[in-house]
Amino acid sequence: MPLWEKRRSAWVLAGLTAFHILLISVQVPPGAGKSVFEKGVFFIFSPIQSAASGAARGVASVWNGYFDLRGVRRENRKLKQENFFLSQDVRFLEDRLRFAESEARLRESLAEFEGSILAARVIGVDSANPHQSIIIDKGSFDGVMKDMAVCDRNGSLVGRTIPPIGFKTAKVQLVTDKDSSVSVESVGSKLTGSMTGRSTDVCDLRYILATAEGGAEGEELRTTGYDKIYPAGIRAGVIKSIAPDERSPIFRSIAVTPAFRFDTIDAVAVLTRRPGGGE
């Protein structure tokens, strides 16, 4: 018999023996322990089952983590939005508080005009030159008219209302505007002249004769009421310097620092009572 036929016979015999053993193991009665077949199947498929179970847990963990992350991001966006609105509310309340404090301050400093004070908020300045005019949030609907005096929270003169005057807004010409003119007199020496602007942070006191006596640096200027626009007695400025007028020797050249400050006109008072008690 050839060698390859002998090997084939041996393989067939080994296969039949293994099959016979497998059949015998399957036919073992229940309760007699695990069969060889069951043990073999368990041995083969147990690692696969463990790997599949681990993979499923991993996928479930990643999936849950993905949704958890989406939830965290959504919650984070919600918190950021709420924080934004809370910040806006805080700023609004702080702004209202500052305005209320400024209004109380200006009513106190202008107590003599009680009953004719209209508190207003500054909402804009002249874009070409901030020393010329500002815009307030009160207009004709609130009783604002042309040529009403405007003061800051400390009772110092700021300027007067001029056209255009809308229903809820009005323009205020500052005393520092080059076209502004206010009749004033010095508190000490009673020098009377016209305080005019330069469209800068400095004004001039004009028409003071060189022969006039009195006048000194630091002396306060107050309105006279002669111009029929500004009530008498309002602080208008302080004399900054005095020198001979080179262009007109018969007059003095007097520089004036306005009494109001630009950082104190966030809130202003419109004086609805005109000189002489008229409205």
Beta bridge partner(s), residue 253 = 243
Q: Give the per-residue pLDDT at 6.
A: 55
Residue 234 lies in a domain: yes
Model confidence, pTM: 0.64
What's the pLDDT tens digit per position in 230-246? 999 999 999 999 988 87
Total structural domains in the chain? 1
Classify each residue of 118-139 as buried b or exposed e, where b means 16 or more C-beta atoms within 10 Å of its C-beta: bbbbbeebbeeeebbbbbbebb
* Residue given tokens 């909402």 in the structure block: 123
What's the pLDDT tens digit per position in 11-67? 666 666 666 565 555 555 555 455 555 555 555 556 666 666 666 666 666 666 666
Q: Which residue segment(s) compose the domain that 124 sits in?
A: 117-279
Residue 75 lies in a domain: no
Q: What is the 3-state secondary structure (H, E, C) of 245-271?
A: CCCCCCEEEEEEEECCCHHHCCEEEEE
Residue 145 lies in a domain: yes
Residue 239 lies in a domain: yes
Residue 38 lies in a domain: no
Residue 84 lies in a domain: no
Q: Check which CATH number belongs to the domain holding 121 and give it.
A: 2.40.10.340
What number of residues does the chain have?
A: 279
Residue 54 lies in a domain: no
Mean model confidence pLDDT for the chain: 78
Cα–Cα nearest to 131, from 196, 87, 79, 82: 196
Residue 225 lies in a domain: yes
